[in-house]
Structure 1
Amino acid sequence: MTLTSPEAPAEAEARPDRPSVTELRLAAFAGHRRARFPLGPLTLFAGPSGSGKTGALRAYEALARLGGGAGLHEVFPDPVAYVPERARPDAQRRRGFRIGCTAEGPEGPVRLDVAVQAEPDLRIVGERLTAGGLVLLETALRDPGRPFVQAAWHTAGGSPVTRGPLPDDRLGTALLPLRVAGRTDGERQVLAAAEQMVVALRSVFACDPVPGSMRAAVPLGEGRLLRGCDNLAEVLWRTRSECSRRHGQLVAAVRAGCAGPVAEVLAEQLGDGRVRALLDRGDGVRTPLGLLGDGELRYLALALVLLTGPGVLEVDQAGEVPAALQTLTVLADGLDRGLDVRQTGELVRLAARMCERGHIRLVGTVSEAAWAADTGTGPGVAGAAEAAGATVVHLRP
């Protein structure tokens, strides 16, 4: 594995008041061991099939969902799939995996490391939250017969730590505001570090557009884009009227990545209350999105994701923290799936512009073939990523 981490433009650096995840650690997860991946405003994992690109994004998404309070069984319905293949069970026939991350923000770098037992029973058996070299929270499984772990958190009051039980199927860091009163300086430090980690993790939108589900007309609803972008037409109906400037940018992006002339991207309401999306070709011809190829549909959906935000995407943000103090992170596994090199390069350039403005962060994966390919008429994916100052992680099986 080789890493390339060019300096990002100054405007793209994480703002101190906006927590963001800057490192992903996979100590033992699926095909990864002792792996540390730097994450910038724009990060691309590149490599052949089987190199672990998808596994890295799954670990990030799992941490995000745990940070949002999801239960362990919900996050890992098939936990054994993430146990390293050659991991041997101990004397009690236990095996598991370990993941973690670092979140930068007002409290400086805050580290979270989690050990998960996958079999015989799924449970969190160890968790550590640290900042400035100080352990703020540490949990350990003391009694395998009981459904909780023993936790100790920094107090710095009459006693250095406070101890108590926490459930073994939830991330302890996300539960700290319910257990820590914040009466001492130490407890307030614990709460501030936990909030920074949770805010950095929760604002995540994992996106994987499914072209087959995007072709049909859909009923009007909340207008929030789903993970598979099934309700793309409904969201276009909403965003076209709410923000003309961003919609104009979407039209320009679609024009650059789709075949034929594109004068407008719009949605029209049908007689039965549903809406369908179309491309206006500018010469009286309107092409329903259902007639576009899979690559064009994925390209359009991903461009829309990059140009919108938490109010439009189905994101579980921290409701108690102002949106201005949160940074949305888009996880796009298979960013180039079904796309040609030109389309992928256009998406990377669009992502770079949006990430530079602090609008979003993007962590995506691209195939080795797309990375190595050249358009013949300009820079391919590698050239676009290099010009954008992206953090690039090259993986090998």
Structure 2
Amino acid sequence: MAVSSVSLKPSSLSPKPDANSRSDTVRSCADGGRPERPCVTELRLSAFAGHRGAGFGLGAVTLFAGPSGVGKTSALRAYEALARLGGGAQAGEAFPDPVACVPDRARPDAQRRRGFRIGCTADGPEGPVRLDVAVQAEPELRIVGERLTSGGLVLLETALRDPARRTVQAAWHTAGSASVTRAPLPDDRLGTAMLPLRVAGKTDGQRRVLAAAEQMVVALRSVFACDPRPDRMRAPVPTGSGRLLGGCGNLAAVLWRTRAECGRRHAQLVDAVRKGCTGAVADVLAEPLGDGTVQALLDRGDGFRTSLGRLGEGELRYVALALVLLTGPGVLEVDTAGEVPAAMQSLTVLADGFDRSLDPRQRRELLRLAVRMAGRGHIRLVAAVSDASWAAGTEGVTVVHLEP
């Protein structure tokens, strides 16, 4: 690899547990066998921001816990970046601030190049599939190395051979008349995501490559990064498309849509809000104002309605997170694998500051809701919290403690 600071060395593909982290529990996608829905079971930050040689096991509900500055947000940011790459995004979209991803105190080489390494494991019908990616951040952003492996076999490997060209040399497993196929690929996209368009699937080897790549892409793509912003949720909003944005500023428009679409799911939302908000709650609804906008309201059941704009920050964040956990890709602004049936996909919610502004009752209720929904296989949660003592011992929850 031309850039030594970001090369995919053999030792980097099996990182040891981060010395500054520990995990209480590590659970697989599903108990009792191979999961039918592909899902990410490990996140590896071999050299990323403040992390070096870190590997984190992910369960159906995972909480990254620790004080400010230990790398909770950067772990979620790395996961989101992999998801974007898996969906076919260019490197610049996945890493809008690539220099911030370079490990602390990393020094440039003689050509002034610096970079970072991340990866993950996706489990599913094909067994565990590993993806490791090396990215050059300076002097220009490019993906300089990638490796996709399954069962100890390298299915795809790319490397930067000529820095003057905006391509990498790729080689993927064939197991036909030639053991591998070689071809150039763009250096600004994930090769794994492009394999379905490049591999014919005529040999057993090619079909194995396709199956592993598709499992990885399906596991990564359905991700919703969520951090509700109460300051954006108080004012009326245009009806819009009804797909919830990451900051949840269009919550009222989504309620306007979902309340009419699924009465059973809406009843579950009302029950959840009732458990986490002060005062009586008979309904959660949206009301049109006649100017093309809607406002969200709590029906108190006695003829009185409270605008969500009058709620405190904790209550607003609670309502938004409850709605996220109870809905799906059709309601959230996510990039799903449209060619794969919904029954074969699971949505992963990335929630930074999950416990921010929430009181103990609200934290517990949201965690119970997350565990219940994850138990059905439709949703997974990876969240960052400042302290997870309140979640210790909860069945179905993986807690990763990050320490300074």
Identify whether the pair has TM-score above 0.5, normalized to the shorter chain: yes
Residue 393 of structure 1 pairs with residue 400 of structure 2: yes
Q: Which residue of 2 aligns with 1:200?
A: 219
Q: 2:108 aligns with which of 89, 96, 119?
A: 89
Q: Which residue of 2 aligns with 1:254?
A: 273
1:82-129 residue CA offsets vs partner (Å, 9 max, x unmatched): 111121212222110000000001110000000001111111110000
Name the CA distance, whole Å, in 2 between partners of 1:125 and 1:21. Answer: 23
1:4-52 residue CA offsets vs partner (Å, 9 max, x unmatched): 11658x9667863210000000000000000000011110101000111
Kept after mapping to 2: 8 A contact 1:11/1:357 = no
Kept after mapping to 2: 8 A contact 1:204/1:315 = yes
Q: Structure 1 length normalisation: TM-score?
A: 0.94
1:283-328 residue CA offsets vs partner (Å, 9 max, x unmatched): 2210000111111111100000000011111110011111111111
SS in 2 for 1:87: coil
Judged with a 3 Å threshold, the aligned counterparts in structure 2 of structure 1 residues 282 and 213 are, in CA distance, closer, same or farther, namely: same
Moved more, 110-119 or 333-342: 333-342
Moved more, 32-41 or 238-247: 238-247
Matches within 5 A, 1:63-82: 63-82=82-101
Q: Which residue of 1 aligns with 2:170?
A: 151
Judged with a 3 Å threshold, the aligned counterparts in structure 2 of structure 1 residues 6 and 193 are, in CA distance, closer, same or farther, namely: closer
Judged with a 3 Å threshold, the aligned counterparts in structure 2 of structure 1 residues 14 and 366 are, in CA distance, closer, same or farther, namely: farther
Q: Where in structure 1 are there 5+ consecutive unaligned residues?
A: 373-380
Judged with a 3 Å threshold, the aligned counterparts in structure 2 of structure 1 residues 73 and 29 are, in CA distance, closer, same or farther, namely: same
Kept after mapping to 2: 8 A contact 1:12/1:355 = no
How far residue 273 of structure 1 moved from its aligned partner, in angstroms, is: 2.4
SS in 1 for 2:228: coil
Deviation above 3 Å: which 4+ runs of structure 1? Answer: 10-15
Q: Which residue of 2 aligns with 1:4?
A: 24
Residue 35 of structure 1 pairs with residue 44 of structure 2: no
Matches within 5 A, 1:216-295: 216-295=235-314
Residue 137 of structure 1 pairs with residue 156 of structure 2: yes
Residue 382 of structure 1 pairs with residue 402 of structure 2: no
Q: Which residue of 2 aligns with 1:98?
A: 117
Percent of pairs with identical residues: 76
Name the CA distance, whole Å, in 1 between partners of 2:81 and 2:101. Answer: 11
Judged with a 3 Å threshold, the aligned counterparts in structure 2 of structure 1 residues 190 and 301 are, in CA distance, closer, same or farther, namely: same
Name the CA distance, whole Å, in 2 between partners of 1:323 and 1:387. Answer: 28
Name the CA distance, whole Å, in 2 between partners of 1:151 and 1:212. Answer: 47
Judged with a 3 Å threshold, the aligned counterparts in structure 2 of structure 1 residues 199 and 13 are, in CA distance, closer, same or farther, namely: farther
Judged with a 3 Å threshold, the aligned counterparts in structure 2 of structure 1 residues 258 and 198 are, in CA distance, closer, same or farther, namely: same
Judged with a 3 Å threshold, the aligned counterparts in structure 2 of structure 1 residues 367 and 113 are, in CA distance, closer, same or farther, namely: same
Name the CA distance, whole Å, in 1 between partners of 2:396 and 2:268. Answer: 22
Kept after mapping to 2: 8 A contact 1:180/1:187 = yes
Kept after mapping to 1: 8 A contact 2:113/2:136 = yes
Q: Which residue of 2 aligns with 1:121?
A: 140
Q: Which residue of 2 aligns with 1:376?
A: none
1:125-152 residue CA offsets vs partner (Å, 9 max, x unmatched): 1000000100000000000000000000
Name the CA distance, whole Å, in 2 between partners of 1:162 and 1:45. Answer: 40
How far residue 221 of structure 1 moved from its aligned partner, in angstroms, is: 2.2
Kept after mapping to 1: 8 A contact 2:86/2:192 = yes
1:42-86 residue CA offsets vs partner (Å, 9 max, x unmatched): 101010001110010000000000000100011112111111112
Residue 23 of structure 1 pairs with residue 42 of structure 2: yes
Q: Which residue of 1 aligns with 2:3?
A: none
SS in 1 for 2:337: coil
Q: 1:356 aligns with which of 375, 384, 389?
A: 375
Kept after mapping to 1: 8 A contact 2:252/2:294 = yes
Judged with a 3 Å threshold, the aligned counterparts in structure 2 of structure 1 residues 360 and 14 are, in CA distance, closer, same or farther, namely: farther
SS in 2 for 1:296: helix
Name the CA distance, whole Å, in 1 between partners of 2:308 and 2:83. Answer: 32
Kept after mapping to 2: 8 A contact 1:237/1:266 = yes
SS in 2 for 1:388: coil
Q: Which residue of 1 aligns with 2:63?
A: 44
Q: Which residue of 2 aligns with 1:161?
A: 180
Residue 178 of structure 1 pairs with residue 216 of structure 2: no
SS in 1 for 2:314: helix
SS in 2 for 1:146: coil
Q: Which amino acid aligns with 1:5?
A: T
Kept after mapping to 1: 8 A contact 2:122/2:215 = yes
Kept after mapping to 1: 8 A contact 2:283/2:300 = yes
SS in 1 for 2:394: helix
Judged with a 3 Å threshold, the aligned counterparts in structure 2 of structure 1 residues 67 and 145 are, in CA distance, closer, same or farther, namely: same
Kept after mapping to 1: 8 A contact 2:345/2:378 = no
